[in-house]
Amino acid sequence: MAFRAALRRALGLAPFLVVLLVLTACAHEYPQSTLNPKSDFTRMIDGVFMQTVYWATGVFVLVEGALLWAVIKFRGKPDDPEPAQTHGNTKLEILWTIIPALLLAMISVPTVRAIFKTYEEPSGPDIVRVNVTGHQWWWEFHYPQYGVTSANELHVPVGKTVFLEMNAFDVLHSFWMPQLGAKRDVFPNRITTLWFRADSAGFYPGQCAEFCGTQHGKMAFHVAAESQADFEAYMKGLQATGVVAAAGDSARAKADSSSRAGTTTASLAAQSATTPDTMAGKKLFASKGCIGCHSLNAVKFSKGLIGPNLSDVGSRHYIAAGTLPNTDENLAHWIQHPWSVKHGVLMPELGLTQADARTLAAYLRTHTGK
């Protein structure tokens, strides 16, 4: 009677559990999900995961089914005699040792094969290599084949293998792209690697997955998987920032020469043809010390700079390492009060007025890497 009452109570909860299951299926997809693979790497991992789930589901159904069958068939009755005691069954013990061993082999063999595959270094002429450096709390991306550097947005061509060589500038970090690649810890003075090939265009979130300080949760990044043409255009845009910087140096040299000679050149006039806000922002960028931590030249790669490269900051989707959407308002707020966004960040409060911050934001907005 007690069993039947418990069974009725359990069946009474079934509709509630079904409704709860349906509601969970209606939830908005979490962006940092490994269940929606977008590269060959993550599809391989997902295949191992789903194979394990299938085997585990089969074992669960068989074991729980046998358990329920035994409970129902052999349930005790008031007039039942004392059951006979069984002290062992060699055949059964051998059987339930062999079956789990076979199941583990079916799971472990593809798992080990996938582990070795993920640590292979790809080869071939079409490999895109990127050097990744983790900082507190942002990511630096250097493309040695193109001679350019950017930050917090990794651009990759769809259909080509990307090989990441990663390390850390300060403390232990962990590089994680849920839809494109597995987690890899990155260490100071040590190189770890990761490869993947994006199979569809998109803008995918990433995250530092190892606690690295107070703003670890705001050390995000994004991966822009795009066509080969768009990727090449992005690389050329970054390379062009070096040409602009060289032109600026040449213009300054000509300005010095012209001031000494008391003449003005046409090239100088071309260099000075810009808006007042841009000129004011450029002066603030130099006078407030921004230039001591940041570079606006993607070609001039320097490990001495402690801040992200800003050569394409105007066209990035997010600022402050994936923390804020890159709007004019957010950019000005970040420039003026960085500690209100990420307390403890190395970017100091410079005592800027709102007008100064807006002017600097307008100047940085012109640096799009295009």
Q: Is 80 exceeded by the pLDDT of residue 160? A: yes
Specify whether the CB–CB gap between 174 and 186 falls below 8 A.
yes
Domains and CATH numbers, the chain: 128-231 (2.60.40.420), 263-365 (2.60.40.420)
**Pairing state between β 128-135 and 162-168:** parallel
Alpha-carbon span 130 to 143, nearest angstrom: 5
For residue 361, what is the enclosing H or E element? helix 354-365
The pLDDT of residue 270 is 33
Question: Cα 315 to chain center, whole Å?
Answer: 18
Which of these, 161, 123, 130, lies nearest to 144 by C-alpha position? 130
Q: Is 50 exceeded by the pLDDT of residue 21? A: yes
Residue 237: pLDDT band by 50, 70, 90 thresholds?
very high
Which of these, 187, 266, 196, lies nearest to 225 by C-alpha position? 196
The pLDDT of residue 139 is 95
**At which residue do the structure tokens 């934001």 appear?**
361
The pLDDT of residue 325 is 94
Q: What is the mean pLDDT of residues 127-151?
A: 94
User: Taking CA 33 as the corner, what is the angle to CA 31 and CA 39, rounded to the nearest 5 degrees?
Assistant: 105
Which tens digits make up the pLDDT trace of 301-355? 655 578 899 999 999 999 999 889 999 999 999 999 999 999 888 888 888 899 9
pLDDT > 90 fraction of the chain, expressed in percent and rounded: 45
Measured N-to-C along each axis, helices 40-73 and 90-118 cross at an angle, to the nearest 10 degrees, of: 170
Alpha-carbon span 89 to 87, nearest angstrom: 7
Which tens digits make up the pLDDT trace of 75-127? 888 888 887 887 888 888 898 899 889 888 888 888 999 989 988 888 888 89
**At which residue do the structure tokens 């795009």 appear?**
226
Q: Is 60 exceeded by the pLDDT of residue 252? A: no
DSSP classification of residue 49: H
pTM for the full model? Answer: 0.78
User: Taking CA 364 as the corner, what is the angle to CA 130 and CA 344, rounded to the nearest 5 degrees?
Assistant: 70
